[in-house]
């Protein structure tokens, strides 16, 4: 076998600079020369796009094309999609003054012939004072958009017009876990019962950080009533570990006969922190949950948005990290890698996942869900609305749908969308100074 396998080489005096896959430090100049000669004698790359990895030396990018992605063209890649958005009917945001907010929707399930979604609902006398002003919050004035919130739910026949049903879980009396705010919930159905996992705040978010553990409530019906278990179900990590202060976005799926709860933690000191997700596994919805020793399993993404896909689990990675705006896949639910790169992914996606709890190693994927927009997003310097609202997204990340429009890689947007990304005053000032 050649000492330098499948590599694209540039010989620099005695060393080898390579952008290929494998280098052999013991390769001699003679080896390199031979390899160069054999590369020189290679036939040109085929015109007909090879559907499987060609048996020939490949560039690093072409190796990746076959090793990483489900198909060489995104149009044929079951885990590539565009995302389209639709406004929802049935949710009232009052005077649009930031006193009513809805955000962080759960996955959507279908029960009794209707779609169900649960979400964080805040109705307060004033809009939030902001994370860094948490000291100005009171028992009636929220620090953040998700402070002083309860968990509400809504149902729908078509996924566009929703009927708000009211509270599912109200924040309990002080000092019970979650007395300050119950937020960012997600649903599990297990042996005929329903479980809502949620963030249980016992201080205003922003006081010391966005600190909270995860609690759970259970019910015999998706319409409740819900009984809160007054204990930390997924406790924060030990002191000095990545999830010591926060477990966010608990996201249950049933996988390999067990309950897999993916969750997010923001670690490191703000504002230079990293956001990533890990996994806790249990045989019983009320625990005990064992955290995966390799946590965090992701290096990017602001929320948990996962779904069973083929024999593994796929994830939408949004907003934070080197790998944001990717769709990732782990054939074992643990070893996630990039399966496609997309754009305009939904924030805080709660997808409709018909097989979230019974995929049996044959996950079919997703075609729609609900996400949120926060009012201040897209507005520089803190302008915009101080609340969040729910919207629908559609996509084709499904083995059962073939929608070529969702697979179009070219995203043409109106120039106004680009011009809405305005430079801040500080940036304008820098540019002005640079040209002086």
Which residues bind to ligand AAL, rule: CB under 6 A?
104, 146, 183-184, 199, 210, 248-249, 264, 302-303, 348
CB of 347 to ligand AAL, least distance (A): 7
Burial tier of 81 (Cβ tally within 10 Å: 0-12, 13-18, 19+): buried
Q: How far apart are CA 187 and CA 198, in angstroms?
A: 9
Distance, CA of 230 to CA of 208 (rounded, Å) = 22
CA distance 327 to 151: 28
Shortest Cβ 264–ligand AAL spacing (Å): 6
> In angstroms, what is the minimal distance from the CB of 226 to ligand AAL?
19
Q: Residue 372: beta bridge partners?
A: 390
How far is it, in rounded angstroms, from Cα 58 to Cα 21? 9
Kindly report the backbone phi and psi dihedral angles of residue 368, in degrees, each rounded to the nearest multiple of 5, phi listed first.
-160, 170
Nearer to ligand AAL, 333 or 350 (CB): 350
User: CA-CA distances (angstroms) from residue 168 to 153, 296, 348?
Assistant: 6, 31, 20
Nearer to ligand AAL by Cβ, of 364 and 385: the residue is 385
In the complex, residue closest to ligand AAL by CB: 184
Angle at 220 (CA atoms; ends 189, 313), nearest 5 degrees = 5
Give the integer Cα–Cα distance in Å for 44 and 123: 65
User: Token digits for 367?
Assistant: 């075609």
Show the tokens assigned to 362: 């044959």
CB of 390 to ligand AAL, least distance (A): 13
Which residues, other chains included, contact 1 with Cβ-Cβ below 8 Å and sequence gap of 6+?
none
DSSP lists the bridge partners of residue 164 as 154
Least distance (Å) from ligand AAL to the CB of residue 204? 12
- Identify which of residues 79 and 149 has a Cβ nearer to ligand AAL in the complex: 149
H or E stretch covering 67: helix 60-67
Contact 194, 218 (CB under 8 A): yes
Give the nearer residue to ligand AAL in terms of CB position, either 293 or 382.
Answer: 382
Q: How far is the CB of 388 from ligand AAL (least distance, A)?
A: 9
Q: Closest separation between CB of residue 183 and ligand AAL, Å?
A: 5
Instruction: Specify the residue, 128 or 308, whose C-beta has the smaller distance to ligand AAL.
Output: 128
Nearer to ligand AAL, 184 or 359 (CB): 184
At its nearest, how many Å lie between ligand AAL and the CB of residue 133?
A: 16
In the complex, minimum distance from the CB of residue 251 to ligand AAL, in angstroms, rounded to a whole number:
11
**Nearer CB in complex with ligand AAL: 78/249:** 249
- State in angstroms the smallest separation of the CB of 332 from ligand AAL: 25
| Ramachandran bin of 288, using left for φ above 0, alpha for ψ from -120 to 50, beta for the remaining angles | beta
Burial (CB count within 10 angstroms: exposed 0-12, middle 13-18, buried 19+), residue 219 = middle
- Provide the sign of the torsion angle of the four alpha carbons 297, 300, 301, 303, taken in this order: positive
> In the numeric block, which tokens belong to residue 38?
């054999």
Q: Are 313 and 304 in contact (CB under 8 A)?
A: no
80 vs 373, beta carbon nearer ligand AAL: 373
Cβ closest to ligand AAL, residue 102 vs residue 264: 264
In the bound state with ligand AAL, the residue whose beta carbon lies nearer, of 205 and 398, is 205
């Amino acid at each position: 076998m050649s000492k330098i396998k499948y590599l694209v080489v540039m010989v620099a005096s005695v060393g080898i600079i390579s952008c290929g896959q494998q280098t052999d430090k013991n390769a001699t100049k003679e080896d390199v020369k031979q390899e160069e000669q054999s590369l020189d004698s290679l036939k040109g790359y085929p015109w007909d796009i090879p559907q499987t990895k060609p048996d020939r030396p490949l560039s690093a990018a072409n190796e990746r094309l076959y090793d990483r992605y489900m198909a060489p063209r995104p149009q044929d890649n079951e885990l590539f999609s565009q995302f389209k958005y639709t406004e929802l009917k049935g949710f009232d945001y009052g005077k649009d003054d930031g006193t009513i907010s809805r955000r962080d929707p759960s996955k959507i399930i279908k029960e009794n012939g209707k779609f169900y979604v649960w979400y964080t609902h805040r109705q307060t006398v004033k809009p939030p004072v902001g994370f860094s002003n948490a000291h100005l919050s009171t028992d009636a004035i929220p620090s953040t958009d998700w402070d002083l919130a309860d968990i509400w739910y809504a149902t729908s026949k078509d996924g566009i017009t929703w009927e708000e049903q009211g509270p599912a879980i109200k924040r309990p009396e002080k000092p019970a876990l979650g007395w300050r705010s119950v937020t960012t919930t997600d649903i599990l159905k297990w042996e005929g019962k329903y479980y809502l996992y949620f963030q249980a705040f016992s201080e205003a978010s922003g006081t010391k950080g966005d600190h909270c553990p995860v609690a759970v409530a259970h019910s015999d019906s998706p319409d409740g009533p819900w009984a809160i278990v007054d204990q930390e179900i997924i406790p924060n990590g030990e002191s000095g570990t990545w999830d010591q202060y926060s477990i966010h976005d608990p996201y249950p799926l049933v996988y390999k006969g067990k309950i897999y709860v993916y969750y997010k933690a923001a670690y490191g000191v703000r504002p230079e922190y990293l956001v990533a997700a890990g996994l806790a596994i249990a045989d019983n919805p009320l625990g005990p949950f064992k955290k995966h020793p390799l946590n965090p399993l992701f290096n990017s993404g602001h929320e948990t948005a996962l779904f069973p896909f083929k024999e593994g689990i796929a994830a939408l990675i949004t907003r934070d990290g080197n790998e944001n705006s990717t769709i990732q896949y782990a054939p074992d639910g643990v070893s996630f890698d990039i399966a496609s790169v997309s754009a305009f992914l939904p924030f805080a996606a709660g997808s409709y996942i018909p097989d979230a709890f019974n995929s049996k190693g044959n996950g079919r994927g997703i075609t729609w869900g609900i996400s949120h927009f926060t009012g201040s997003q897209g507005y520089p310097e803190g302008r915009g609305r101080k609340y969040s609202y729910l919207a629908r997204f559609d996509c084709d990340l499904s083995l059962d749908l073939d929608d070529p429009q969702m697979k179009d890689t070219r995203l043409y947007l109106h120039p106004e969308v680009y011009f809405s990304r305005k430079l801040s005053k500080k940036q304008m000032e820098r540019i002005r100074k640079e040209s002086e």
